[in-house]
Amino acid sequence: MRFDYVVVGAGLAGLTIAERIAGVLDKKVLIIEKRGHIGGTVYDSYNEEGVLIHNYGPHIFHTNDKEVYDYLSRFTKWNDFWHRVLSYVDGNLVPMPITVETVNKLYNLNLSSFEVEDFFKKYAVDIPEVKTSKDVVLCRVGEEIYHKFFENYTKKQWGLDPAEIDTSVISRIPIRTNRDTRYFADRYQGMPRHGYTKMCENMVKNPNIKLLLNTDYKEVIDELEYDALIYTGPTDYFYDYKYGKMAYRSIRFEFETFDCDSYQEAPVVNYPNDYDFTRITEFKKLTWQKHDKTTILKEFPNSDGEPYYPFPTAEYKEQFAKYRAEMEKETKVFFLGRLAEYRYYNMDAVVRSALDLFKEKLAK
């Protein structure tokens, strides 16, 4: 069987590149997906009680990239949504990320934006060379806030001390000297009005796109003819673990439904120091769904199961560099996305990467 392109993986990276190939180039595309659904980890569905849940944890779209926002807006309308997170610290629920409001509530103060900047400077640790995620926090807000908000949460999330982790992990979490308690400050933020799965289904409506679900691509790839392959799965698996298996952090999801309208004060509450889970999500507060019951999700990070987060350590970066050298030799294979590139991507960055690959390599 012949296709112009084969795409391995039906997450946002694979769907975006397939939609562009089919729509702009008018080429035939086969998407092969090992799961029984499209959408990858943004997949959402209605549970037995009829509550719309995010099956792989909460996904909130946010971006400053107008081209990405406009592109996805072809496939969905949006509910305006400004994400707010609370963190359970010292028996209190305080805004996260760290802001003026967080400091005032935690320490029973009434600091202004200018005063909280001085507060941070007073406790900041002088670190000549910032090398780790621990360094990032210490040099900005000091030891106490580091221990209260970041140290144990990071240990639960990664199974590692922040001193062992690359600066990129905690650098993604803003620390603000204003009163903006939104988790993200991006210009474009929202939730797909009818869910992520519906958005993804709209992306693959082109008759040039064929889907093959519940299939490991290695079981069928030798029977296919194609001009090029776009691979979005783990690169170590692509190369049969030639340089060893890469480490990923996984998550065990525990869903609970309650016979009440509301479970907690915010869509997401972090638990940096208490309990084994890292956070609780209440989905109705994300989706605006009206329902007399509510479903929550507790997340328990672990080292087994589906690969979600590449390990941000020097050791695994060096290991992946060996695979990267192999990837660069390929002439008919393009590697795309979080797993294939062994790097953390937000949703908008995944789509941006796919759009760039299309424009720079495939459209030419």
Instruction: Please provide the DSSP assignment of 130-184 as one string.
Output: --BHHHHHHHHH-HHHIIIIIIHHHHHHHSS-GGGSBTHHHHTS-B-SSS--BS-
The model's pTM is 0.94
For residue 205, report the phi and psi dihedrals to the nearest 5 degrees. -75, -15
On whether both 110 and 158 belong to a single domain, the answer is yes
Those residues whose C-beta lies under 8 Å from the C-beta of residue 174, and which sit 6 or more positions away, are: 97, 98, 185
Q: How confident is the model at residue 346 (pLDDT cuts 50, 70, 90)?
A: very high
Assess whether pLDDT exceeds 90 at residue 147: yes
Q: How confident is the model at residue 108 (pLDDT cuts 50, 70, 90)?
A: very high
Cα separation, 5 vs 159, whole angstroms: 39
Average pLDDT, the chain: 95
Q: Is residue 94 part of a domain?
A: no
On whether both 30 and 76 belong to a single domain, the answer is yes
Q: Is residue 293 part of a domain?
A: no
Q: Is residue 11 part of a domain?
A: yes
On whether both 197 and 162 belong to a single domain, the answer is no
On whether both 45 and 124 belong to a single domain, the answer is no
Enter the DSSP assignment of 234.
-
On whether both 201 and 231 belong to a single domain, the answer is yes
Q: Is residue 253 part of a domain?
A: no
Cα separation, 162 vs 152, whole angstroms: 9
Rounded to an integer, the average pLDDT of 241-256 is 96
On whether both 104 and 159 belong to a single domain, the answer is yes
The reported pLDDT for the residue numbered 337 is: 95
Residues 229 and 49: beta-carbon distance below 8 Å: no
On whether both 121 and 14 belong to a single domain, the answer is no
On whether both 230 and 328 belong to a single domain, the answer is yes
On whether both 164 and 42 belong to a single domain, the answer is no
On whether both 43 and 119 belong to a single domain, the answer is no
Assess whether pLDDT exceeds 90 at residue 40: yes
Q: 138, 171, 204: which is the final residue of a domain?
A: 171
* pLDDT tens track for 168-213: 887 778 889 999 999 999 999 999 999 999 999 999 999 999 999 9
Assess whether pLDDT exceeds 80 at residue 65: yes
On whether both 218 and 70 belong to a single domain, the answer is yes
Residues 320 and 288: beta-carbon distance below 8 Å: no
The reported pLDDT for the residue numbered 344 is: 86
Q: Is residue 50 part of a domain?
A: yes
**With the C-alpha atoms ordered 208, 213, 218, 224, is the resulting torsion angle positive or negative?**
negative
Q: 123, 142, 171: which is the final residue of a domain?
A: 171
Q: What is the CATH number of the domain that holds 334?
A: 3.40.50.720
Beta strands at 44-46 and 52-54: parallel, antiparallel or unpaired: antiparallel
How many domains does the structure of the chain reveal? 2
The reported pLDDT for the residue numbered 166 is: 83
On whether both 131 and 232 belong to a single domain, the answer is no
Q: 116, 137, 171: which is the final residue of a domain?
A: 171
Q: Is residue 264 part of a domain?
A: no
Q: Is residue 328 part of a domain?
A: yes
Cα separation, 10 vs 16, whole angstroms: 9
Cα separation, 288 vs 33, whole angstroms: 30
User: In terms of residue numbers, what domain contains 109?
Assistant: 99-171
Residues 265 and 38: beta-carbon distance below 8 Å: no
Q: Is residue 33 part of a domain?
A: yes
